[in-house]
Structure 1
Amino acid sequence: MDAPVPELETRANACADALEDADSVLLASHIDADGLTSAGIASTALERAEIPHDVVFSKQLDDEEIAGIAAHDHETVLFTDFGSGQLETITEHEDDGDFTPVIADHHQPADADTEFHLNPLLEGVDGGKELSGAGASYVLARALLGESATDLAALAVVGAVGDMQTKEGELVGANVEIAAEGVEAGVLDTAKDLALYGTQTRPLPKLLEYASEVYVPGITNDQGGAVRFLDSLDLDLHDGGDWRTWASLDVDERQTVVSGLVKRAVRNGVSTDKVTDLVGTTYTLTEETPGTELRDASEFSTLLNATARYERGDVGLAVCLGNRDGALDAARELLQTHRRNLSEGLAWVKDEGVTVEEDLQWFHAEDRIRETIVGIVAGMAMGAEGVESDRPIVGFGNKNDEEVKVSARGTPALVKQGLDLSVVMGEASQTVGGDGGGHTVAAGATVPKGQERAFLDAASDLVDDQLR
């Protein structure tokens, strides 16, 4: 079997050789869905290669975090889903003999470089759309283990989906090749199906009521309307006294529901382009139990994000490594807390409103919304009443007494017009003594408290340059 991403084969082989030569490895990874799956893939690969290692997580890899990593007693450090953007500091520690860095990342690299650096952007592969951090870790695992690593492709797909790398409902580029290896290994299934979040776990009325992908009048955000629609389909959609889930329907039942949804949408004036968004490519983890969060890549990634937002990377990693008992229960409890906090945060934004300016819109939650979920709330607020969809939204939340977390969200349409929030967050934060980065459609930063207005002014100028 050929390498999944041939452009990266030489770099991947060099990184694999460096890991095989190490007495022990410290695996340092970002703490989000992509970072957790990256760590799960890398840790499994190191375990199978019989390379002793420890794992640490970080929300933001700044100078202090890197110094803490250097203090560990490991000669080799494997950075996954971050490291490329912090190469200047990392190479300083390398030059001082603190550790040998090996990096598997997909973010924009800094000007400095190091010998063992696996990043798709260095070889002309788009790290924002075609290969996630988990994908880079998978490429490294394949170089380390060969075809015996192909079962890890399922986790790589979860990471890509969690990193918002689907385009019009499906993965593209190198991610497609990785998904194909997962299908061939028997751990993944791809199919055209209803492209709504929650097909495995949400009762059908909730699935349709909460669907934000396509707004269908009389069903979306309308519990009674969703129930009346389902009751009108002449199907047995109950299991005892409970509503069934989409995953429990057979092919004919699914076709009936989709047909009814399409007819309802068209009758209510939903555009053809939007109607087609009801169906997309789904990614099913075939070895996971049907009807659970782990069966669907999107729901799996949401579960992992919940563990990350509450700084329980240990729980998320354990789930990625196959713990289906205590860790999964703990992750589900964190997900319930996460959903409650998101609901309360969104309600606060709706009540308080956002400040709409010429080039962007913003809100400052201070301590009312946990800083680790401000970005998610900002994304959920896009399209709500009083929130514009033609400009990015910026959310602030207090990180500590001296710093404020900034999270920005855009839309695919704005990205097509030239928006790159990674650049906006990075450059605007630096003008006020902060630091930031991320992706084109979603990015974040940390800035000194009291510098929010100056940051917004700088960000506005950058957005204006990109879009106008």
Structure 2
Amino acid sequence: MPGPVPELEDRAVACAERLCSADRVLLASHIDADGLTSAAIAAQALERAGLPFETVFEKQLDEDAIAAIAATDYDTVLFTDFGSGQLDVIGDHEDAGAFTPVIADHHQPADRETEYHLNPLLFGIDGASELSGAGASYVLARALADVTETTTAVATDGGAASTAARADNRDLAALAVVGAVGDMQASGGELRGANERIVEEGVDAGVLETGKDLALYGKQTRPLPKLLEYATDVGIPGISGDEDGSLRFLEDLDLELRREDGEWRRWSGLTSEEKQTVASALVRRAVSRGVPAKKIDQLVGTSYVLSAEPVGTELRDASEFSTLLNATARYERADVGLGVCLGNRSDALERARKLLRNHRRNLSEGIDLITREGVTHEEHLQWFHAEDRIRETIVGIVAGMAMGNEGISRSKPIVAFAEKTDDEVKVSARGTHGLVRDGLDLSTVMTEASRAVDGDGGGHDVAAGATVPAGRETEFVERADEIVGEQLS
């Protein structure tokens, strides 16, 4: 059957045919939620196609990592959620006959061409907001199923999709949506563009459910008071960040919101009528406290529910699932995240939950640190240097979550530094979708500013990163500030 993104169909088929001609494949992927779901989609598609493969993960696909891949005895390498930005280096190894690359990515490509390159940006589709790395992997998986004419497959432990959906890989749409949500592509509360078509396939396959719902994180797992207390994206005075205020708000409602054992219920366990009562009361409170109408509208968005997963678990909600995945590979346990994606609901899931608790603690401590110590404001951006006090794998997440806190503006992009090695510093940059609409492109900022100091970088318009030599951070900030100023002028 036709693929979900017609613009990519011919290229996806070409990439699939090349994979099918290989004796075996090395699958290399990034470590964030989008990278893990990309790898899981590709792994299941390769397995269903009967293609032997091995999976490796990289925090950063730099020259050393690519050289290590080239040193293996694999003739075919499938890169997912990275590879496009490193085409110049990959191309040198391809020209030398080390391997044939097949790339399913959505990042800004380097100025180099290769035959088997599946990237939405090459076909006029925005890779920052309309198709993620997992989405590109899904398009490839659908083509791979078509090329190999798969008719049967084995469902994962948590699978409930039909045999037909597994046969054409449409059941993998759920993971593609988790990757897109984890990559911050649900702008304005919902996925758009090519992502929408993947959502439609997931709904048709019976692995996704969508609908309008309260746009707060933690609807599956957080008790109601914590759900409201931690809902800071749309700050409601007297509720957001206020434990006692959240409790009073809920206790004043004419609803039975506690279980028989006295514990608070969760949003996922409420009836439709109860949800409507709570949501209406939240809107009334926001209006009475002067929250702008534009902000109030953000209280409601599109929910993406993985229908095969148990109610009340992190795996049921795309946003919570993606956070769980971020808590694995960023702590050197990509195998755990991949295991969860592939259906391991015992050892891998329990380990992931332990890592998530640690991840949340580290994020909280990092946000407190930056809020307490403050940031340095340049004319067009703001920045801080965490040194070794925040892990370089999560410093970008901390930076994005800290925006809007006291002294940390949402009207400027934020740049975060953290020690990577004795000689290198990790740089992460975060913006807002509003700044992007005004012209901000952090991918360009990170690429150009890093190269000005003999580093390297890239990413997306709203979130990007780089690696620069230690000691040259000031030069980097000066150049980045200039570029941001030019973009937003």
| Structure 1 residues 312-351: Cα deviation after superposition (integer angstroms, max 9, x where no partner) | 1111111111100000011111110000011111111122
Corresponding residue for residue 106 of structure 1: 106
Corresponding residue for residue 161 of structure 2: none
SS of aligned partner of 2:189: coil
Question: CA–CA distance in 2 between the matches of 1:107 and 1:379?
Answer: 19
Corresponding residue for residue 155 of structure 2: none
Q: In the alignment, is the contact (CA less than 8 A) between 2:128 and 2:462 conserved in 1?
A: no
Question: CA–CA distance in 2 between the matches of 1:58 and 1:316?
Answer: 14
Corresponding residue for residue 351 of structure 2: 330
Question: CA–CA distance in 1 between the matches of 2:434 and 2:231?
Answer: 20
| Structure 1 residues 91-147: Cα deviation after superposition (integer angstroms, max 9, x where no partner) | 111111111110101111111111111111111111111100000000000001145
Which ranges in structure 2 are unaligned for 5 or more consecutive residues? 147-164
Corresponding residue for residue 235 of structure 2: 215
Question: CA–CA distance in 2 between the matches of 1:269 and 1:56?
Answer: 51
Corresponding residue for residue 20 of structure 2: 20
> How much has 1:416 moved relative to structure 2?
1.0
Corresponding residue for residue 118 of structure 2: 118
Letter in 2 for 1:433: D
Task: Figure out how many residues of one structure are paired with residues of the other and give that number.
Answer: 468
> How much has 1:212 moved relative to structure 2?
2.0
Corresponding residue for residue 413 of structure 1: 434
Moved more, 363-372 or 36-45: 363-372
Letter in 2 for 1:141: A
Corresponding residue for residue 41 of structure 2: 41
Percentage of identical aligned residues: 68
Corresponding residue for residue 5 of structure 2: 5
Corresponding residue for residue 374 of structure 2: 353
Letter in 1 for 2:220: Q
Corresponding residue for residue 253 of structure 2: 233
| Structure 1 residues 21-68: Cα deviation after superposition (integer angstroms, max 9, x where no partner) | 000000000110000000000000000001000000001111110011
SS of aligned partner of 2:185: coil
Corresponding residue for residue 163 of structure 1: 183
Question: CA–CA distance in 1 between the matches of 2:401 and 2:63?
Answer: 32
- Please, what TM-score do these two structures have when normalized by structure 2? 0.95
Question: CA–CA distance in 2 between the matches of 1:267 and 1:429?
Answer: 47
**Map 1:136-175 → 2, pairs under 5 A:** 136-146=136-146, 148-175=168-195
Moved more, 146-155 or 99-108: 146-155
Question: CA–CA distance in 2 between the matches of 1:167 and 1:342?
Answer: 22
Letter in 2 for 1:190: T
Q: Does residue 453 of the first structure (1) align with residue 474 of the second (2)?
A: yes
Question: CA–CA distance in 2 between the matches of 1:118 and 1:346?
Answer: 37
SS of aligned partner of 2:169: helix
> How much has 1:272 moved relative to structure 2?
1.3
SS of aligned partner of 2:348: helix
Letter in 1 for 2:313: T
Corresponding residue for residue 160 of structure 2: none
Pick the aligned partner of 1:191 from 208, 211, 217.
211
SS of aligned partner of 1:84: coil
| Structure 1 residues 207-264: Cα deviation after superposition (integer angstroms, max 9, x where no partner) | 0000122110000000000000000111111112211110000100000000100000
Q: Does residue 274 of the first structure (1) align with residue 295 of the second (2)?
A: yes
Letter in 1 for 2:219: T
Moved more, 6-15 or 435-444: 435-444
| Structure 1 residues 294-319: Cα deviation after superposition (integer angstroms, max 9, x where no partner) | 00000000000111211211111111
SS of aligned partner of 1:190: strand
Q: Does residue 249 of the first structure (1) align with residue 262 of the second (2)?
A: no
Corresponding residue for residue 398 of structure 2: 377
> How much has 1:288 moved relative to structure 2?
0.4
Corresponding residue for residue 154 of structure 2: none
Moved more, 220-229 or 356-365: 356-365
Corresponding residue for residue 437 of structure 1: 458
Question: CA–CA distance in 2 between the matches of 1:236 and 1:282?
Answer: 24
Question: CA–CA distance in 2 between the matches of 1:400 and 1:189?
Answer: 44
Question: CA–CA distance in 2 between the matches of 1:409 and 1:442?
Answer: 5
Letter in 2 for 1:389: R
**Map 1:50-129 → 2, pairs under 5 A:** 50-129=50-129
> How much has 1:356 moved relative to structure 2?
1.2
Question: CA–CA distance in 1 between the matches of 2:20 and 2:474?
Answer: 49
Question: CA–CA distance in 1 between the matches of 2:291 and 2:179?
Answer: 32
SS of aligned partner of 1:233: coil
Which ranges in structure 1 are unaligned for 5 or more consecutive residues? none
Q: Does residue 317 of the first structure (1) align with residue 317 of the second (2)?
A: no
> How much has 1:2 moved relative to structure 2?
2.5
Question: CA–CA distance in 2 between the matches of 1:92 and 1:350?
Answer: 44
Question: CA–CA distance in 1 between the matches of 2:476 and 2:26?
Answer: 36
SS of aligned partner of 1:199: coil
Question: CA–CA distance in 2 between the matches of 1:453 and 1:419?
Answer: 21
